Amino acid sequence: MFRLTWLLVAVMLGPSYAATQTISVTPNEMRSTAFGALQDGQPARALALGEALLLRAADDPIALRIEGQAALEIRQSDVAVRHGRMLYQIADDNKVRFFAARLVALAHAQQKNYTRSQIWLRRARQVAPDAATAASIAQDYATLRQRNPLSFNFDFGVQPSSNINNGSSESTYERYGQPVLFLGQPIGLTPSAQSLSGYQFSADATVGYTVNENANSRTVVSVTGQMLRYALSNDAKAAAPTFDVGNLAYDRAVLGVRHDWRVGEARQPLTAVFKYGVSQINGEFYARDVEFDLSTQWLLNERTRVRSCVRLGQVTYAGTGNTSESWALDLGWNRALGDGDAVIVRGSVGRTLSDDAVRLNSDRQDFGITYNFGRVADVFDVSLGLGRQWRSFEPSATAPDGRTDLRTDVTLTVGLPLIEFYGFSPIAKLEAYQTNSNVSRFQSDGLSVDVSIRSNF
């Protein structure tokens, strides 16, 4: 039992009564009255009752819940955030923690602190009591993503590979299928030029900001950082003891501008992307590059979508100052089959023109098909892809009649959405490839497993 102040009595019974009477109630009676006030649409009254309860015990979880909910309803967002955060910290029950996290997320959304709200929605997702509630959190997150001018994308991965240096699968230099001899002996490829097994560690981060948006267009400026690091296996270290794996270390920073808009009476969607990037290898400046893409898509029906893209690029290499220019035309066809299944067909043609004898002129054609099996056994997200690439190079000193490469790759991707941490789940990609070339140095094959993390919403 404890005695209320005159102010509390005035809130409950009116100022005229408070001037002449004092009453005593239990904390449980106050909590019940406060919940009733919330249900009756009287959040201000519930807030006053909650404040009195917190004067008695600042860590009263029920009072914090009342205070947070009432403050949210009367748009006292700061108060809702403060009490929701404390409730989240002291709660040892996941249902209470879910309520608190979602409360703080909604309060931040009221203040248009969308990024903070998204963080708290991920905390709510982590302790969601059931699948339906978790799905509602994903919907809230998607709504905030559309409202938030600031966007983030992160990708981290580890990739064990049988060929991290893109080395040759052959041990001698061959031309037209025959060994090249010197003094009657085949010329051998150095260990560093042959395939070496090991691990690739990758990290990518992109921060974007919407600088302009209306009903017909949107412009986003972004900055991307990419990092690749490698480590040799023990067998590779023994096979190529002088190989410096640091020479494979790659870093790249990209400034991008993307503009989406709709044109004509049909409101045809168009997307233009400009990128300016700089890269380095083993800590030394390697190249700068620019790229321009223009793409569009057509919805043939409810299930079928066709996409096309034209890409133009130029790379200027450090040291020599030589440049290479390229163009490519991409086409894609996507057909949804129901039950989460889909088939994707893609094709591409392109050409690279270079004034560097090391980076030869070449033509390229790509074709690929991927089948997405959707959710398999209610546990896995599975897709299987097959791709082929034809590439031809003009004659050079190492290939007087030109060089032709044919690469075939098979990719199996398995997502594990039931293993989730704050809305992120692991995804594994198994890739096997083989490149057949008329120059043995470029004859290669490899097997790799890429384990990375992706967001489920």
pLDDT of 166: 87
Could you tell me if 36 and 111 lie in one domain? Answer: yes
Of 3-17, 82-96, 160-174, 242-256, the least confident: 3-17
Could you tell me if 291 and 200 lie in one domain? Answer: yes
pLDDT band at 123 (very low <50, low <70, confident <90, very high): very high
CB 11 within 8 A of CB 25: no
CA separation for the pair 202, 128 (Å, rounded): 31
Could you tell me if 330 and 407 lie in one domain? Answer: yes
129 secondary structure, DSSP code: S
Judged against a pLDDT cut of 50, whether residue 20 lies above it is answered with: no
pLDDT band at 38 (very low <50, low <70, confident <90, very high): confident
Q: What is the mean pLDDT of residues 151-174?
A: 86
Q: Please count the other Cβ atoms lying within 10 Å of the Cβ belonging to residue 48.
A: 19
Could you tell me if 82 and 155 lie in one domain? Answer: no
Could you tell me if 206 and 348 lie in one domain? Answer: yes
What percent of the chain clears pLDDT 90, i.e. is strictly above it?
A: 65
pLDDT band at 350 (very low <50, low <70, confident <90, very high): very high
CB 161 within 8 A of CB 167: no
Q: Which of 62-66, 344-348, 437-441 is most confident? A: 344-348
Q: Could you tell me which residue, 292 or 179, shows the higher pLDDT? A: 292
Could you tell me if 10 and 140 lie in one domain? Answer: yes
Domain enclosing residue 26, as ranges = 2-147
Of 28-37, 342-351, 370-379, the least confident: 28-37
Of 24-28, 57-61, 448-452, the least confident: 24-28
Angle at 258 between CA 257 and CA 259, to 5 degrees: 125
CA separation for the pair 374, 341 (Å, rounded): 5
Q: Report the half-sphere exposure of 118 (CA within 13 A, side-chain side).
A: 20
Could you tell me if 88 and 195 lie in one domain? Answer: no
CB 134 within 8 A of CB 125: yes
pLDDT band at 72 (very low <50, low <70, confident <90, very high): very high
Which of 123, 147, 171 corresponds to the end of one domain?
147
Which of 131, 147, 163 corresponds to the end of one domain?
147
The residue whose two tokens read 């905030």 is: 144
Could you tell me if 137 and 187 lie in one domain? Answer: no
Judged against a pLDDT cut of 70, whether residue 384 lies above it is answered with: yes
Could you tell me if 167 and 250 lie in one domain? Answer: yes
Could you tell me if 430 and 362 lie in one domain? Answer: yes
Rounded to the nearest integer, the mean pLDDT of the chain is: 88
227-282 tens-digit pLDDT: 999 999 999 999 899 899 999 999 999 999 999 999 888 889 999 999 999 999 99
216 secondary structure, DSSP code: S
Q: Which residues are within 8 A (CB) of 338 and not within 5 positions of it... i.e. 6 or more apart?
A: none
Q: How many domains does the chain have?
A: 2
Which of 88, 118, 147 corresponds to the end of one domain?
147
Q: CATH number, domain at 163?
A: 2.40.160.40
pLDDT of 268: 92
Angle at 246 between CA 245 and CA 248, to 5 degrees: 75
pLDDT band at 3 (very low <50, low <70, confident <90, very high): very low
Could you tell me if 124 and 158 lie in one domain? Answer: no
Could you tell me if 180 and 287 lie in one domain? Answer: yes
Judged against a pLDDT cut of 70, whether residue 440 lies above it is answered with: yes
Judged against a pLDDT cut of 90, whether residue 312 lies above it is answered with: yes
CA separation for the pair 296, 309 (Å, rounded): 7
CB 405 within 8 A of CB 437: yes
Q: CATH number, domain at 31?
A: 1.25.40.10
